[in-house]
A = this chain, B = another copy of it.
Amino acid sequence: MEAEIIATGDEIRTGALVDSNSAHIALALEAEGVTITRHHAVGDDGEVLAGLFREVSGRADLAVVTGGLGPTVDDRSAEAAALAGGVSLRMDNVALRSIEAFFEKRGREMSPSNRKQAMLPEGSRRMDNPVGTAPGFSMSISRCRFFYLPGVPSEMRRMLREQVLPEIRSLQGEDRPVHRVLTLSTFGLPESVVGDRLNDLPTRFPELQLGLRAHFPSIQVRLYASGRDEANLESTLKAASEWVARRLDPIRVVSFVGEDLETVVGRLLREQGATLAVAESCTGGEIAHRITNVPGSSDFFLLSAVTYANSAKTEWLGVAPETIEAFGAVSEQTAKAMAKGVRERTGADFGVSTSGIAGPTGGSEEKPVGTVCIGIASPDRIKGYRYVFPFGRRRMNKTIFAASALDLLRRELMKRNE
């Protein structure tokens, strides 16, 4: 089956907003064995929308449309779908009640314009929105099945997964091919090196497709398999993922199921019944923020002291002023003293610290912007590390500093598992 993807909204048309929905939908549909042929983005003009829906309806089997289901006058997807399909809009009472319930549950007043969101094209099939007010719907225009979803990514993703993909599977019928995607998360190799090391994958595993996805600073390696013999697919993917890990160096593979660093670190800590405390300077809370994004992190995460000022490093972490004076705040010695200090003062099993220069200012000849020192204090040793990254931008530096610290902690935890 062939599908086209349509993003709507003046914010996307004028470039005020980068459309990440279309890529997400394309990945999900391709994983179901649907071929994406084309993406479109247009603004909020009802006539333009209806014209595009008619154009696509004559070409594709499936179309997924995002945006234009909100409560404002700019939200015209339902109206345009009705126009393109030659039907009228009617009030969907189930949708209306669910919008009313959404507001009631939150103790908020429903605005009159929200009623409009329950007006759906005649003959369409309502898709409930469990996390927002805008219901979606699916309908056939000419030979093409259209799926209309809200533009808010969290709402779109959940409705795609729970309602659109199952309907597409049932449209594909019994003998649809089986598709499997396996995602390896890696850390520590640039995308070009990962690509070079895996460039003979197509000759070794001709039945697989390879995709690399950069989610800075991690590179995800995706292996796509399709066919009709499920057991065979699984064993090919397993063999290929082991081959990939050997090619990249197994320690670079953070997860064979696409998890991020903090999730893996959290699992290792929990498995070992260990606790963690963090002392952050240059990462400014990003390590704590990432770790506490993991549900249940209060089981192992005790504290992060985000000590920007040197006085905070000495008073809160017990770093000797002489250490900072002799080696500088950005030094392996200070990083080690910070990790040791936060570990001892909290009674945690592991202490992790960062001190570095995220920029844009503060660099020197000897310690340029991009320099980070990381300390890892474990029950039996304290180690210091120093790296210089070439990215130059403050946000990227903070992110790679935090990821590097999490990765060093992951490696330390894995050693103890051996």
Contacts and interface: CB of A to CB of B under 8 A. Distances in A.
The complex is assembled from copies of this chain, and their number is 2
Contacts of A392: 131
Interface in A235-294: 278, 280, 283-289, 291-293
A58 interface: no
A133 B39 contact: no
A397 to B, nearest CB: 11
Nearest to A293: B395
A295 to B, nearest CB: 5
A36 to B, nearest CB: 5
Nearest to A30: B14
Q: How many A residues are at the interface, by size bracket? A: 35 or more
Interface in A1-56: 7, 10-20, 22-28, 30, 36-43, 48
B284 A289 contact: yes
Contacts of A346: 309, 312
Contacts of A306: 278, 285, 288, 292, 303-306
Given A13-B36, A17-B23, A30-B15, A309 B303 contact: yes
Contact of A15 (B26, B73, B114, B212): B26
A3 to B, nearest CB: 11
A308 B301 contact: yes
A297 B395 CA distance: 13
A287 B289 CA distance: 9
A307 interface: yes
Contacts of A114: 192
Contacts of A131: 392-393
A285 B304 contact: yes
Contacts of A312: 302-303, 346
A172 interface: no
Interface stretch (A193-201, A333-341, A372-380, A406-414): A193-201
A288 B37 CA distance: 43
A318 B209 CA distance: 57
Contacts of A309: 298, 302-303, 346
Interface stretch (A105-113, A119-127, A162-170): A105-113
A361 interface: yes
A285 B11 CA distance: 31
Interface in A189-232: 190-193, 195-196, 199, 209, 211-214, 222, 224
A212 B74 CA distance: 10
Interface in A382-418: 390, 392-396, 398
- The SS class assigned to the A binding surface is mixed
A72 interface: yes
A360 interface: yes
Contacts of A38: 13, 40-42, 48
Nearest to A290: B285
Contacts of A297: 284, 308
A71 interface: yes
B113 A192 contact: yes
A291 B295 CA distance: 23
Contact of A284 (B10, B14, B113, B288): B288
A136 interface: no
Which residue, A16, A18, A280, A396, has most C-beta atoms of chain B within 10 A?
A16
Contact of A16 (B152, B222, B390): B222
A416 B145 CA distance: 58
Contact of A18 (B20, B278, B308): B20
A135 interface: no
5 contacts: A14-B26, A19-B39, A37-B42, A302-B311, A303-B312
Interface of A: 7, 10-20, 22-28, 30, 36-43, 48, 70-74, 105-106, 108, 111, 113-114, 131, 133, 152, 154, 190-193, 195-196, 199, 209, 211-214, 222, 224, 278, 280, 283-289, 291-293, 295-298, 301-309, 311-312, 316, 346, 358-362, 390, 392-396, 398
